[in-house]
Structure 1
Amino acid sequence: MFKSAIVYRIAPGWEPPSLASLEGALDRARFVPCGPTEPRSAGWIEPRGREHEALVESVGGHWILCLRTETRAVPGAAVRDALEARLQKIEQETGSRPRGKLRKELKEEIVVDLLPRAFSKFATTRIWLDPKAGLLVVGAGSAAKADEAVGALIEAFRDLGAVLPAGLLKTQMAPSTAMSLWLAEREAPPGFSIDQECELKQAGAGESDAALEGTGQARAGDRATVRYARHSLDIDEVVAHVRQGKVATKLAITWRDRVSFLLDASMTLKRIEMLDVVLEGKAESGDDPADDGFDADVAIATGELGRMIPELVEALGGEIAPESVSEPAARAPAPG
């Protein structure tokens, strides 16, 4: 159900709309494939993957939605070749080679001409909204992808004359600081165990651990980086790296022998995997052939992650309480 996850907090006091009204708003923003000259399209599709069914599914009080995007990009080499041919033709006919604004306009015309022949790339982002817990979990491994999905959902709520006051869940301790501490002390917080993968980066001159909080991408090329894969991290070498000023930007963790994942400095959960004890429970319960296992998958994912996320937040020092707001607080979608 979720291979990656970015967690948002919905501000206290939020009252969710009815499922029927949200369904109507999503239907007005349903996914439509790109037109002949459109480079991109985004919209809602059925979470179950069946046409003409609900665009928002409620399973045990958990709402599941699905945003689909289509992007079409013309290869740069094709654009350059076509542009050069057109520039040469104009130069031969007029004795002058177009430059500046005219050259840019010609390039844009070529892109539009070639778009109908460009291949489409599709992507799907799942969203889990838990109205009772005030959580919004986006199945994305990058901030840009998650922000686009949350932005689209906020627009659907605005279409209803409502708000979705969602912002990234923030913890008292930066994930990089906490992960470094766990490695230095060779001990994970209660309920968690450290697996065999991590990434350590040297903090820049005068840079504190807190400065690495966020994307974990700041000046990556300027800092010494050490990576361990399929290797025990309970060794003096790892402790020495931390004591010498390196901070953990990625760490593989397992929660209660039930869920494994890779935590990064931005608190993005990647490579989420339900372990055997969870999957055995699913097999014993049996799936209803009529729903292709959708309800069971949702119940497992929301049940396990719904218990794990609060414990992870506690391990990071607890949550920085969100303010009660009346306007959306999520970050704006990244351009492009």
Structure 2
Amino acid sequence: MWFKHLHLYRLHDEQVIDLESLDDALSTQAFRPVGPFEAKRVGWQSPGGRLDQSLVRDIEGHRLLTMGCQERLLPSAVIKEVLEERCLEQEAEQGFPVTRRDKQALKEKLTEELLPQAFTRSTRVDIWWDTRNRLIGVHCASQKRAEEALDLLRQSLGSLKVAPISIAVPPGRTMTGWLNDPTTRPDTLLLGDQIELRAANEEEGVLRGRQVDLECDEIQAALSAGRRVSQLGLIADGQMRFTLHEDLAIKSIRFDDALTEEADESLSDEDPLLKLDTEFSLMAHTLSATLSQLIEWLGGETQFTTSEP
């Protein structure tokens, strides 16, 4: 249950939909397996798996939703190989080369033929919805996948006024300042051991470091040469460590061992739903407190009005 990556969004709807209405809305887009002639399907599934009937789990205003995704794996190399064979056969039969238009039509027909034979891959994307702070975090590495989950939520609810969190001061500038001048860094915010530095001139490339001392002379020399921080490893309040990206994506999250051990010790039986709720509760409260503090450290959010897409 412990999230590894997060993309953060601010919900601009003032009213919070009640649990029953939310569950009913999600059921209209419930997940079903991909059909034989479908390349991909997404839909809502129970966060607790087969043992749970509800599409939403709620712990003190922290809600957990899960988008299920199933797609057929049909590599382009396979299509290309078979397509070339079919084109050669057709050229031999008709006595002249296959036109580009006919080749495209043949490719589409071939894809339809091969799809039912393709293996399927199933994945899930969890959504943490902090209703009290009107914050939504999507657990995935890709922003594209995060937007896909929000699009599905928007379709299910009919309306969803949400936008990526925007910080008044560019996070990259603030992170660079934390390294340049340690006195600007909050007392309870410690440096981790990962960094990415970009130059003003893109041709100079990107410098990346893992398991390095971020206050070493080499890093300081790169900053003096005009490079800026685009990713920075951080440890917040001793509760969680993560890599902060300049687009405010939170990657490589690791929660403190004391927190995960607390979850293990609080479980009195092997009930998987109890385990899910316990871990989610501890994680959600930690994320809520830490991210609210992080946003404040970064200079606060930009105040603006969004319109529903």
When normalised by structure 1's length, the TM-score is 0.86
Q: Distance in 2 between matches of 1:122 and 1:322?
A: 38
Q: Distance in 1 between matches of 2:150 and 2:204?
A: 33
2:190 to 190, 193, 214: 193
Report the AA paired with residue 165 of structure 1: K
Report the AA paired with residue 239 of structure 2: R
- Where 1:293 maps in the other structure, the secondary structure is helix
Report the counterpart of residue 334 of structure 1 in structure 2. none
Q: Distance in 2 between matches of 1:18 and 1:186?
A: 45
Cα root mean square deviation, aligned: 1.7
Matched, 1:184 2:180: yes
Q: Distance in 2 between matches of 1:249 and 1:201?
A: 6
- CA shift for structure 1 position 9: 0.5
- CA shift for structure 1 position 50: 2.2
Q: Distance in 2 between matches of 1:186 and 1:229?
A: 20
Report the counterpart of residue 251 of structure 2 in structure 1. 270
Matched, 1:237 2:218: yes
Report the AA paired with residue 162 of structure 2: A
Matched, 1:16 2:12: no
Q: Distance in 2 between matches of 1:49 and 1:273?
A: 24
- Where 1:50 maps in the other structure, the secondary structure is helix
Report the counterpart of residue 312 of structure 1 in structure 2. 294
Residue pair 2:90, 2:98 contacting (<8 A) in 1 also: yes
Report the counterpart of residue 299 of structure 1 in structure 2. 281
Q: Write out the 4+ residue segments of structure 1 that deviate beyond 4 Å after TM superposition.
A: none
1:1-336 equivalence runs, <5 A: 1-11=2-12, 14-51=14-51, 53-158=53-158, 163-186=159-182, 188-204=185-201, 222-287=203-268, 289-290=270-271, 291-323=273-305, 327-328=307-308
Q: Distance in 2 between matches of 1:38 and 1:195?
A: 44
- CA shift for structure 1 position 289: 3.1
- Where 1:92 maps in the other structure, the secondary structure is helix
- Where 1:127 maps in the other structure, the secondary structure is strand
- CA shift for structure 1 position 128: 1.0
Q: Distance in 2 between matches of 1:103 and 1:292?
A: 55
Residue pair 1:154, 1:328 contacting (<8 A) in 2 also: no
- Structure 2 alignment gaps of length 5 or more: none
- CA shift for structure 1 position 2: 1.2
- Structure 1 alignment gaps of length 5 or more: 205-218, 330-336
Q: Distance in 2 between matches of 1:322 and 1:293?
A: 39
CA distances 1:91-113 after superposition (whole Å, capped 9, x unpaired):
11111221121110101111111
Q: Distance in 2 between matches of 1:168 and 1:142?
A: 14
- CA shift for structure 1 position 287: 4.9
Q: Distance in 2 between matches of 1:147 and 1:259?
A: 25
- CA shift for structure 1 position 328: 2.6
Count, aligned residues: 306
Report the AA paired with residue 176 of structure 2: S
Residue pair 1:287, 1:293 contacting (<8 A) in 2 also: no
Q: Distance in 2 between matches of 1:44 and 1:181?
A: 42
